[in-house]
Structure 1
Amino acid sequence: MKNKDNDKKSFVSYLPRFISYYKPYKGLFAADMFFAMVIGATGLAFPWVMRTLINEVFTLSDKGRIVEILIPAGIFMLALYVIEGLATKFVTSWGHILGARIERDMRQDLFTHMEKLSFSFFDDTSTGQMVSRIITDLQDITELAHHGPENLLISAIKIAGAFIILMNTHVGLTMVLLIFTVLMGLFTFFYRKKMFQSFMDNRVKIANVNAIVNDSLSGIRTVQSYSQEEVELEKFYEGNQEFYQSKKNMYTVMGTYHSTNGFLQGLLYVVTIVAGGFYVVRGTINPGDLYLFVLYINMFLQPVRTLIQFNEQLQQGMTGFFRMCQILDTEPEIKDLPGAIDAGLLRGDIKFEGVTFKYKDADESVLTDFSLDIKAKHSVALVGPSGVGKSTICSLIPRFYDVDEGAITIDGIDIRNMTLRSLRDNIAMVQQDVYLFNSSVRDNIAYGQYDATDEQIIAAAKQANIHDFIMTLSKGYDTMVGERGVRFSGGEKQRISIARAFLRNPPILILDEATSSLDNVSERAVQESLDRLSRDRTTIVIAHRLSTVRNADEILVLAETGITERGTHEGLMARGGEYAGYYQVQFEDLSVVREGA
């Protein structure tokens, strides 16, 4: 997994990427900008009408003429309000819809990329943190995507228009205004980094809280069965407290930001009124124009305040976008190589040729110069103590990880030269820890082949010895299994998993401790299903219960040094080596259990 150094990228370097999300909605964006311009222009027109009335109409001696002018002026101002209201309605509704579409697209891109990331990425990243990235981090994007461009445009129009009018009113006072505006701009520019860091820290801390909650609630049965609620509460308290401190720091930063800008704006009014008073005394500006100037200062500062708020919004939204890009810029370690072929339907001849593999951050290799040849439609059992690489072998065949040295071939083709989709379409896995999705029984079985018909699903369930049980459920195949299949026993979940594999009907089958957590009765029922599933397939079995591998075509005994024994059950028992020793120990343990019963 290659993670580009996002931290070294400049803030501006992300803007083209952000702007690219507007491309599918050019028409809507253009309409939003047009109506934003209308809002900006009508906002400038109101003070202009007031200035004309004050300086040129209300000073007329002919009262009748004043009334004649007031009526059309009022109609004109009313029309401006109507136009501004209609434009505001469009910007408020469709502008937000534009932002929501962009947020949706970003979230879709992020989830799509997450689905492609390698196992090694998820080995180091908690589910709760990923949920936070895809949900919480992108919540501010809608407001930024909507208000950002339109606020910039409206503010630019109002600031430019007001500045021109103010320059025509009094150049000296306008220069005072410009100095204070530059001061506010400089403060905002240099303070933005501190704001960005505080928002980023806040997102990291809430992601940690999400991870704690997800971990604790996912294991709530373990928590309560061991009476460890206090432990989980303490972990949550610490994470929640860190989030509170982060948010407290964020609000402190924002308090300084807004209060400083507010002080500069207030100081601007004071300086303008005092300086304007001197100009009135000197006769370089009349009181009406000074009053108008103060009005236009407010018009000038309103978009400046909007830009100050926009800067806060920008930092919030871009921290979420930045964290999204961190994931999008994480390249999957396992991906299709250039020129990878569609493997089609494979026979299932599997070879490990001088394979060496080490997990990331591990000190030693799990496999070193490991070689193995499994013939198509043969079953091979891997036995031995924990940590010698049995599960690793099974993870390398579907390319969940890539080998460091050597090669794995299927039907003579290096699996790295096959597309991942075509390789994995030829493999089904039944594992000890069965994951059932919070959906119906039908959907969980159909996960093996999502376009399967009801008849195919039922046939697979019958082959897995689970159909009769399903029919006893209140809604049959439409019964919801609950989160992680909590409503079903281990044996029932395992047989649903086996039904998935039957539906997939692959040439290669991997059984990783598929019965190790089951009681004897459930094990027999599941083993019958597995025996049926294994027929006419290349099957790799990992099992600590050696009674489940007696019928394998070949049994391999693994140790840290590699394969130490291989042969059939009968041949290995006759040899009296490691396998026979393991088997004897399990048989004696079983005898003791039966005698104790």
Structure 2
Amino acid sequence: MKIFKFIKKYIFKYKLQLFIFFILSILSWIISISIPYITGNYIDSLIYSQNSSTIFNFTMKILLIGIVSIVSSFIMNYSYVKLQTKSAIDLNLDVLNHIFKLPILYFKDIDTTYLNQRVNSDSNTLVSFILNNMLDSIIKSLTLIFVFYISIRINRKLTILLIPFIPLYLAIYFIFKKPLFKSGHDLKEKQNKFFSKMNEQLYNIKLIKLNSTFEESGEQLRENFSTVLVSLLKYTRISYIFSSSDSMTVTIYQITIFLFGGMEIINGGLTIGQFTIINSYFSMIMECISYYLSLGKSYQDALVSYNRLEKILNQSKEANGDKTLDTIDTIILENVYFSYDYTRNIINDFNYEFKKGSIYCITGRNGTGKSTFINLILGLFNDYYKGNIYYNSLELRKLDMYSVRKRIIGISEQEPRLINDTIKKNVVYGINKYNYGDIEELLKKLNFDLNKFSKGINTSLYEDANNISGGEKLKISLTRTFLKDPDVIILDEPTSVLDINSIEKLKFILNQIKEYKIIIIVTHSKEILDIADEVISSNEICYNLNDKINVYQS
């Protein structure tokens, strides 16, 4: 089974929990299969021997079985939850790691909330399916073999009479197999999109409040929910008909066993105790067949999740080489062309060299490709450019840019995002080695007032909270960049939300460190141009400048 092959490495990673779960599941099966036999013999013993010791012995057996069952069930369920949770999060993280390494343009038209909801839901569905059925399918098969053997030994005629119910059950599954898959797939997709729309409304809460669009927002959710409801009702109808067919088969089975079993008792072919055993065991048989039918249904649900995850994992990762660098002295562009759609060049035959010890300012109005150019030389568009970009003497496509960006390139974006953590955690995010004193010194140099915050550097921040301004976010981002002490520093609009005093302090820092750095500043502001060694107009880089180019920025 392809789903098992896909999931097994996540489950078998936790061997101890799996072993405990396996042993206790077997114990639980032994108990369940023994009780009907013990009970049937007890009934016959009461009828024929009428010995009080029989009652005492049976009571003690049931008490012991009950205690063992309760304790083992607790441990088994505890192990299951632990195993299921750990395995699902491992799968979830693996898929997310693959997503992180997809080309940046993959996300241009992707609803990331929907994607996250989908990955989480499908990961849990697959792990639960395998854990719930990996052992159960074996146990149910053993149950069928054992129960048939005992039932035939007790009364062959009645057992053979009940066998036709098995193919009837199987026929029901094959009739409903495809409708269950299609309706299940449609329902999952609609649910994920609905939850994504709900998250979007919460994300835009300020917009909703400012414009008082409460009714419009509610109407959007109702419209989206109506599509979910249609899919849900369709899935419910098919599931109910499937379940009703199952229930009707069980009802016919019960009529048959009570009618012919009763006749066998009257004719002396069965004792009451034996009838009880066969009735219980055939109920187990029907449960097993019902289980295999529901397995078929849950397999279709799991197959939906598998196909959706496989679709993501089949997306090709972005190009990334395996060569590493310890230092960057030059970045050279030779005959570089860039296009998003391979039809119109945004960058056309561009040549340039960035050298260590200089500050470069890239200027131009918004929307003319400055940030696109930065993303290009950072290796985010390796699949989309022609020509050559060299770091020292190594072509960009051959470099492990994940490692290079992490270690020796520092980037401060125009609108930096925060992680939901403290000021300190935001400053050191992605930096393994740092000096605590350097953090406070850099914050002070950039005019960041720690005294404003109740817990100083340990104050918790949230992306959409109102306890931090845009300028303070930018200063945190700049502090992180300087603390990293990289060879290449790239600042995207670093003066956009800074006051004059803070801008002067930033310029002072840049002049101090530039001797050992390549510093590239993207700006349309004149305040910082006086420290530039070279100024590059976006006209020189971008082709068809007068066109309205809607660039995608990460």
Task: Give the TM-score of the pair, scaled to structure 1.
Answer: 0.81
Quote the residue 1:439 is aligned against: 421
Contact 2:350 / 2:541 at 8 angstroms: preserved in 1?
no
Letter in 2 for 1:405: K
Give the number of the structure with larger relative contact order, counting CA–CA contacts within 8 Å between residues 6 or more apart: 2
Match of 2:403 among 414, 417, 422: 422
Quote the residue 1:539 is aligned against: 519
Quote the residue 1:587 is aligned against: none
The alpha-carbon distance between structure 1 residues 176 and 405, as it changes in their structure 2 partners (threshold 3 A), is farther
The alpha-carbon distance between structure 1 residues 222 and 308, as it changes in their structure 2 partners (threshold 3 A), is same
Aligned pair 1:368/2:353, yes or no? no
Contact 1:95 / 1:147 at 8 angstroms: preserved in 2?
no
Q: Equivalents in 2 of 1:86, 1:308: separation in Å? A: 30
> Cα deviations across residues 495-545 of structure 1 (Å, max 9, x unaligned)?
2221111111222222223334x3xx7255235414523633322222223
- Secondary structure of 1:24's aligned partner: coil
Give the C-alpha shift of residue 460 in structure 1. Answer: 2.0
Give the C-alpha shift of residue 297 in structure 1. Answer: 1.9
Equivalent residue runs for 1:346-495 within 5 Å: 346-347=328-329, 349-359=330-340, 361=341, 363-402=343-382, 403-424=384-405, 425-447=407-429, 449-466=431-448, 469-484=449-464, 486-495=466-475
The alpha-carbon distance between structure 1 residues 160 and 84, as it changes in their structure 2 partners (threshold 3 A), is farther
Aligned pair 1:15/2:4, yes or no? yes
Letter in 2 for 1:351: I
Quote the residue 2:256 is aligned against: 271
Give the C-alpha shift of residue 553 in structure 1. Answer: 1.9
Quote the residue 2:552 is aligned against: none
Aligned pair 1:218/2:216, yes or no? no
The alpha-carbon distance between structure 1 residues 476 and 345, as it changes in their structure 2 partners (threshold 3 A), is same
Give the C-alpha shift of residue 268 in structure 1. Answer: 1.5
Q: Equivalents in 1 of 2:207, 2:54: separation in Å? A: 81
Quote the residue 2:536 is aligned against: 556
Quote the residue 1:6 is aligned against: none
- Secondary structure of 1:330's aligned partner: coil
Say which is worse superposed, 107-116 or 261-270, in terms of deviation: 107-116
Give the C-alpha shift of residue 362 in structure 1. Answer: 7.0
Say which is worse superposed, 80-89 or 371-380, in terms of deviation: 80-89
Q: Structure 1: any 5+ residue segments left out of the alignment?
A: 1-11, 566-577, 579-597
Contact 1:428 / 1:508 at 8 angstroms: preserved in 2?
yes
> Cα deviations across residues 381-435 of structure 1 (Å, max 9, x unaligned)?
2233555432211001111111431111121221222222332122222222121
Match of 2:285 among 300, 315, 330: 300
> Cα deviations across residues 189-215 of structure 1 (Å, max 9, x unaligned)?
452443333333233223212322333
The alpha-carbon distance between structure 1 residues 318 and 523, as it changes in their structure 2 partners (threshold 3 A), is farther
Quote the residue 2:116 is aligned against: 131
Give the C-alpha shift of residue 23 in structure 1. Answer: 1.5
Match of 1:109 among 94, 109, 129: 94
Q: Equivalents in 2 of 1:305, 1:124: separation in Å? A: 43
The alpha-carbon distance between structure 1 residues 288 and 498, as it changes in their structure 2 partners (threshold 3 A), is closer
Quote the residue 1:48 is aligned against: 37
- Secondary structure of 2:411's aligned partner: strand
Q: Equivalents in 2 of 1:399, 1:439: separation in Å? A: 28
Equivalent residue runs for 1:131-150 within 5 Å: 131-140=116-125, 143-150=128-135
Quote the residue 1:186 is aligned against: 171
Q: Equivalents in 2 of 1:204, 1:15: separation in Å? A: 23
Q: Equivalents in 2 of 1:383, 1:299: separation in Å? A: 77
Quote the residue 1:259 is aligned against: 244
The alpha-carbon distance between structure 1 residues 118 and 39, as it changes in their structure 2 partners (threshold 3 A), is same
Quote the residue 1:586 is aligned against: none
Letter in 2 for 1:341: K
Aligned pair 1:525/2:506, yes or no? no
Q: Equivalents in 2 of 1:377, 1:448: separation in Å? A: 25
User: RMSD of aligned C-alpha atoms?
Assistant: 3.1
Letter in 2 for 1:413: L
Task: Give the TM-score of the pair, scaled to structure 2.
Answer: 0.87
Contact 2:129 / 2:302 at 8 angstroms: preserved in 1?
yes
Contact 2:40 / 2:276 at 8 angstroms: preserved in 1?
no
Say which is worse superposed, 397-406 or 193-202, in terms of deviation: 193-202
Match of 1:89 among 56, 74, 83: 74
Quote the residue 1:332 is aligned against: 317
Contact 1:440 / 1:478 at 8 angstroms: preserved in 2?
yes
Quote the residue 1:504 is aligned against: 484
> Cα deviations across residues 346-391 of structure 1 (Å, max 9, x unaligned)?
12x11111112222x5752322322222222222222335554322
The alpha-carbon distance between structure 1 residues 84 and 307, as it changes in their structure 2 partners (threshold 3 A), is farther
How many correspondences in the alignment? 541
Give the C-alpha shift of residue 265 in structure 1. Answer: 1.1
Contact 1:195 / 1:315 at 8 angstroms: preserved in 2?
yes
- Secondary structure of 2:18's aligned partner: helix
Contact 1:385 / 1:559 at 8 angstroms: preserved in 2?
no
Letter in 2 for 1:117: L
